[in-house]
Copies of this chain bind each other. A is one copy, B any other.
Amino acid sequence: MRFTMAIGNVTECAIGRWNLIGNVTEAVHCRKLPAAFFQGAVFAVSQRQPAEIGDTIENIDTPALIVDLDAFEHNLDKMAAIAAAAGVRLRPHAKTHKSPTIAHMQIRRGAVGVCCQKVSEAEVMVLNGVADVLVSNQIVGARKLRRLAALARRARIGVCVDNAANVADLGAAATEAGVKLDVLIEVNVMQARCGVAPGSATAELAAVIGRTAGLHFRGLHAYHGKAQHYAGFAERAAAIAEAVEQIRDTLGLIRAQGQDCEIVTGSGTGTFEFEAASGVFNELQVGSYVFMDASYGRILDRGGAPIDVFEQSLFVLATIMSLPAENRMVCDAGLKALSVDSGLPLVVDNEGVEYLAASDEHGSLRLDRTNRSFSLGDKLRLIPGHCDPTVNLYDWFVCVRRGRVEEIWPISARGMLV
């Protein structure tokens, strides 16, 4: 299998690694490639697709990121219905899935667009047809601001700010590009990360935005990230109730100075019901609900049971690669296949089998509490501790239904950091 190209006086050159991109299986001839395209071996490549459409789950090469389509579609439908019933706009966060494919599925179900965290994520979304993107984050630096402004030629682009100097830079970039950027103020509602204090500080920054050429003051971004993971229902409710009061007061100040505040956006998979019912938030930027993870599996509903509005749809499929002792075994999914920042993965369909430790390429599993005996090559489904950074480790979603691979989607914004 060779991938041949012609450039300048180089008439043919095998680039072995190119056959890893997109499963190219035939020779390809290209003319007039720019030199930068052809710096010998200087291309990074995609992961090979770990399966083919029609494969059984047993035939998926591992580790692989699999999406249970029934559960996944249930989740998309459910959140769309919740937002519609509450009369709030849904703008799901694409930082979770990093996939224009999924963004379009969300938009077809009524979402107004998506959120992104990075300009490069927004580029992937906009250049693949998403017409309305909010970068729910501060964007700093001339190069990034130029790229952000350029996107506003193809889509409605919003961005968050918490600093007047940044507002000036944004305005200059938008003016230079001849575009308008929507600007939302990030308000610090006890997340204690970025953000302006609610109240007069926010109202003052709104006034600055209002008089900056190239910018349109669109509203407030008030995300309480910590509250998403408070296990108790009452704790989450109280945190958002406090945020709602702060935002309500702030809105009063902004409106008193004659400014519209069209959008109040925030919330996440742990708290969306509170923001949706608040009468103050009118846009939800939930992300993880499409997949869920072990961390969200630990939060509780009003009755104290694990929340069951959404189904776990994302799994890492792993293979048993070593059976070193009676009471333990090793699978092929470690730190490079699963993010462990929010805890270790859970093993499904195998009560008593526990994922004990992750090293770079190994997952050590304890078998003390199971009677099942395993063989080399057996597959295990794992629920990642934290879905977002786990998705970011893969190039492909392998989408399964009724035991077969039905579709394979690229994770096109994987690794989009800048």
Contact = CB atoms under 8 A, between A and B. Distances in A.
A415 B65 CA distance: 12
A30 B127 CA distance: 21
Interface stretch (A106-114, A214-222, A235-243, A353-361): A353-361
A11 interface: no
Interface stretch (A171-179, A244-252, A273-281, A315-323): A315-323
A335 B339 contact: yes
A418 B25 contact: no
Interface string A1-38: 00000000000000011001111111011111110110
A341 interface: yes
A254 to B, nearest CB: 19
A158 interface: no
Given A95-B360, A392-B393, A42 B22 contact: yes
B31 A31 contact: yes
Interface stretch (A74-82, A160-168, A290-298): A160-168
Contacts of A196: 324
A100 B63 CA distance: 23
A56 interface: no
Interface stretch (A46-54, A205-213, A305-313): A46-54
A30 B27 CA distance: 12
A68 interface: no
Given A28-B32, A392-B393, A395-B44, A418 B22 contact: no
Interface in A179-205: 188, 192-196
A124 to B, nearest CB: 6
A65 to B, nearest CB: 9
A337 interface: yes
Interface in A103-136: 117-118, 120, 123-124, 127-128
A283 interface: no
A143 interface: yes
B127 A16 contact: yes
16 contacts: A28-B33, A42-B409, A44-B411, A46-B415, A47-B418, A61-B143, A192-B324, A192-B364, A193-B359, A195-B322, A335-B386, A336-B389, A336-B392, A336-B417, A393-B415, A395-B415
Given A44-B46, A44-B396, A336-B388, 10 more contacts: A20-B120, A45-B412, A47-B415, A47-B416, A138-B322, A140-B332, A193-B322, A336-B392, A360-B389, A414-B415
Interface of A: 16-17, 20-26, 28-34, 36-37, 39, 41-48, 50, 59, 61-64, 95, 100-101, 117-118, 120, 123-124, 127-128, 137-141, 143-144, 162-163, 165-166, 188, 192-196, 225, 319-324, 328, 330, 332, 335-337, 339-341, 358-362, 364, 376-377, 386, 388-389, 392-396, 408-412, 414-418
Q: Which 8 A-B pairs have the closest CB atoms?
A: A16-B127, A194-B322, A44-B395, A26-B34, A44-B410, A30-B30, A117-B361, A44-B46
